[in-house]
Amino acid sequence: MEIPLFILALVAAFIYTLVASIRNSSRIKSLEREVLSLKRLMAAGVTSPVAAQAESAESTEKPDFAAETESETAPGATAFQAEYASEPEEAAATEEVAREEAQPAPVATTVESPATKESFESLLGARWAVWAGGLALALGGIFLVKYSIESGLLSPAVRLSLAAIFGLALGLAGEAVRRKAVPGIAATYSNAMIPGVLTAAGALTLFGVVYAAYGIYDYIGPGTAFSLLGLVAFATIGLSLLHGQALAGLGLLGSMLTPALISTETPNIWALFLFLTISWLATAAAARRQGWTVVPSLANAGLGLWALGYIGFSETVNVEPVVLSLLLMIAGTIWLWPGDTFDKTNREIYALEEAKAETTAMRLIHLFARPSLAISLTVSLAAALPAVAILLSSGGVSIHPAFAMIALLAALAALGASRHFAVWPAIFAALTAQTGISLLGQRFFGFDPLLDGSAVVTLPPVSIGTSPNVAASLSFGAILVLCGFSFIKRKGPADQSFAKLWAFLIALFPVWIGTTSFVLFGNLGRDWLHAAYGVGLGLVLLAGAEWLHRQNDEAYRKPLNILVLGSFAAFALSLHTLTEGLVTTVLLSVIGFIYVLASRYRNWDVLPWVMAVASVAVLGRIAWEPTIVGPQNLGLTPVFNALLPGYGIPALLAVASAWLLRDWPGVRAKNFLQAIASVMGLLAVAILIRHAMNGGTLDDSVPTLGEQSIYTLLTIGFSGVLMTLDLKSPSPVFRYGSMIAGVIAVINVLTMHFFTLNPYFTGENTGSIPFLNLLLIGYLLPALAYGGLAYYARGKRPPPYVSMLAVAGAALGFAWATLSVRRFWQGENIADWKGFLQGETYSYSVVWLLIGVLLLVLGSRFNARSLRLASAAFVLISVAKAFLIDMSNLEGVLRALSFIGLGAVLIGIGLFYQKILTRKPQA
């Protein structure tokens, strides 16, 4: 007969549990000593073990803490603290401190090196021999039964009886050895005790006997086998109180495997989950007494896996026993184990470790890697995954899946609000609720009768919502807010990191859940239910912020700011449920401006940022729909259309907010508001120009030169306005914003005016009026604007920036003069395909020389070296043109006149420069 697979599985699980216990034993022992020393040092007012050692090396006397005993530590706290503490070197150091404290009259000592590791002889002879011996005993019993079967020596009943007697004998031997064990051995080899190994071997043997009697020989029925296997499992868990956590793991494994080993055609789901729940409670009770954390984590995982397996492989899911079992698991975590042990004993240690964190990343690690991370994660997954699995079940379910999901997640949120260590339950509750509501939106819920006459919910893939989904969604949002405020009120000052996390959860997820519910299940035209939810949520969050403000506690400052931001998000949700288009865009800014006005009564740091968020939201709506009201509803009248209030009112409110907050102490918020107000104002003017220049339509067509010139002039003027604001109220936003606007305007000139939209390349008609034509607005006016801005910026901005503006203005003036000459000779259309006339070519030289002379006169008049250098540049261009172009293209008198005129001008310029450069400066 082959060895049953389940026996091999039990043996493997037993070995795994022992190995896990081995890995943690030494660390647990050293960290227990560290936590004990920490408690003593904290009671004496010493900040850290290292500081205590430094003081002991310099002083001749030390306080005597020998009177304090380990009884101060609550049951189960020592093991938990050992799991949370870290660094073996620190543990060894604190052990030395505790040893020094126990001496009656110590003298100055030095810190000893960490304790030596266990010898190879002890590891091999005292530990591995015990483990191997226990495994050999268990396998020996199994092989003995196997041999008797193969040889036909005894009947099946006798063989099973002998195996059962052997298993009981191993258990009794373990108890006998335990009672005679030497205390020193128990302390040194806690995870390799012979009594525990003997008891584990006996438990494995009894598991094999019961299953063989049921599964191989049919001596007992499924009910009896179920009861006997459960009895062995619970007895093993009970004996683990005497023999350690490894044996508890074996008993837990047996109890979780028992239902899988017993097959029946009519399974009783209520009995199944009742048995699993009792197994979980027994494990938690043992863990609470002994302070274990590994076994209860495995119990959470086992119960969650059973729930997932039942939901996934059942045609009709009876939800009630599953939900009740998981709810009892969560309740047991709240009140039984870990219960309040973590809160009472380890809150100070966690706060001390968090205070040591030098970076935000380290503080986040301390927040999420809380004590007993395994318990926190396993209970979260054990509740969250079945909640989602109920929604995804392809068969019928006995109650509405939304209510089952909300019940589990609400209990998980309550766990997160009840304990300091329960960071992950709070996060999983919020994330799973959002995910579950999104899944609900993909299905239509209808009730069909089952064979027994009860109603179930079927899940065909139809995207339509129902009122139960809305009720479940909004109810969970309210529950999440209640749990968050409960934690912040009771434990916020003592756990500031978790309080900030809870504030973030209740500010974000209730709004997010409400938005998802509105989009999936609500009336997108006008939904009063979701609007009332948003208004109520916003008022509750604001009331909570006001309550935190009145506590006058610095620990509440950041949670308060987070709640205020959440209130704005809730009001924005209500606004979108009742309005659309222009009204929504304008009122978003109005709500943000109300928060700015509130800064006159409350000095909350977040109030200016609410207006900043509102402005960003308005810009987002504009990016989504630039016409605000839709292209079909946008009027054709220039300026006076929906764009004026849609862009103008938010811009004016942003400018007013920046002005009201000009003396606000928060520099970042003030600067951000000034920047976004400037951008929104420029955008409002630009979009109105675009609408007017394109016949009342907004599209992505390339602008004309006239339209682009208006944008360039607008950007130049914007740069000048920001410069003026900076002079009156110095601000980095105005200072750098003015220069950025100037650079953008120059880039527009280089790309659009000279190349992309140049009528010489595009062939665009310049107009019939000689001077008032496209060239005036496209080149001359921007040139004058650049010149004025450069003159205004002298002494106020860096010289390179001023020179850039001056060069841009000169280049535009040169382009206007040159293109005007071409228009004089070629007419309204100056496209490049027309070629050049001889008179036109000569005229360029004349005009360029005149420009050079004019710049030279102006440079002399204003003593501006930059203008004189620009003059020299134009003269050089004229000379180069004369020798490279005129000499080959001009003929007859024009060629002669060209060189005669050029020579005369050059001589005159030379004479002029000689006088300037030789003139002595006056006193």
Question: At 761, is the secondary structure helix, strand, or coil?
Answer: helix
Helical spans, DSSP H, in 357-422: 360-368, 373-392, 401-418
- pLDDT tens for each residue of 230-268: 899 899 988 888 888 888 888 899 899 888 888 777 788
d(CA 532, CA 530): 5
For residue 851, count CB atoms less than 10 angstroms from its CB and return exposed for 0-12, middle for 13-18, buried for 19 or more: buried
CA-based nearest residue to 596, from 681, 667, 665, 658: 658
Q: What is the dihedral of CA 792, 795, 798, 801, to 10 degrees?
A: 30
Q: Which two tokens stand for residue 803?
A: 């020179």
Q: Vertex 768, ends 766 and 774: CA angle to 5°?
A: 30
Q: Which residues of 201-219 are buried (b: 16+ CB within 10 A; e: fewer)?
A: bbbbbbbbbbbbbbbeeee
CA-based nearest residue to 315, from 458, 444, 442, 439: 458
C-alpha dihedral sign at 519, 522, 525, 526: negative
The pLDDT of residue 881: 67
Question: At 62, is the secondary structure helix, strand, or coil?
Answer: coil
Supply φ then ψ for residue 456, to 5 degrees. Answer: -130, 170
- Beta strands across the sheet bearing 316-317: 316-317, 396-397, 455-458, 446-449
Q: Cβ distance 419 to 346 under 8 Å? A: no
d(CA 161, CA 177): 24
Residues in a beta bridge with 456: 448
Strands (E), 662-702: none
The pLDDT of residue 16: 47
Cα separation values, 381 from 175, 215, 282, 428, 432, Å? 38, 33, 21, 8, 10
The pLDDT of residue 890: 55
Q: Cβ distance 712 to 753 under 8 Å? A: yes
Q: What is the 3-state secondary structure (H, E, C) of 828-859?
A: CCCCHHHCCCHHHHHHHHHHHHHHHHHHHHHH
The pLDDT of residue 249: 87
Q: Cβ distance 791 to 866 under 8 Å? A: no
Contacts of 533 (CB under 8 A, 6+ apart): 474, 477, 514, 573, 574
The pLDDT of residue 148: 60
d(CA 279, CA 257): 11
Q: Which two tokens stand for residue 890?
A: 């001009």
The pLDDT of residue 524: 86
Helix (H) or strand (E) holding 396: strand 396-397
The pLDDT of residue 876: 74
Q: Cβ distance 294 to 191 under 8 Å? A: no
Supply φ then ψ for residue 457, to 5 degrees. Answer: -110, 125
Cα separation values, 11 from 18, 130, 172, 533, 816, Å? 11, 15, 20, 56, 94
Q: Pick out the chain residues at pLDDT < 70.
A: 1-33, 35-37, 39-154, 180-194, 343-366, 369, 442-466, 864-866, 878, 880-923
Cα separation values, 820 from 555, 772, 789, 880, Å? 71, 11, 24, 21
d(CA 584, CA 622): 11
For residue 471, count CB atoms less than 10 angstroms from its CB and return exposed for 0-12, middle for 13-18, buried for 19 or more: middle
d(CA 773, CA 759): 12
C-alpha dihedral sign at 137, 139, 141, 143: negative
Cα radius of gyration (the chain): 42
Termini Cα distance of the chain: 122
Q: Cβ distance 416 to 422 under 8 Å? A: yes
d(CA 256, CA 241): 19
The pLDDT of residue 767: 87
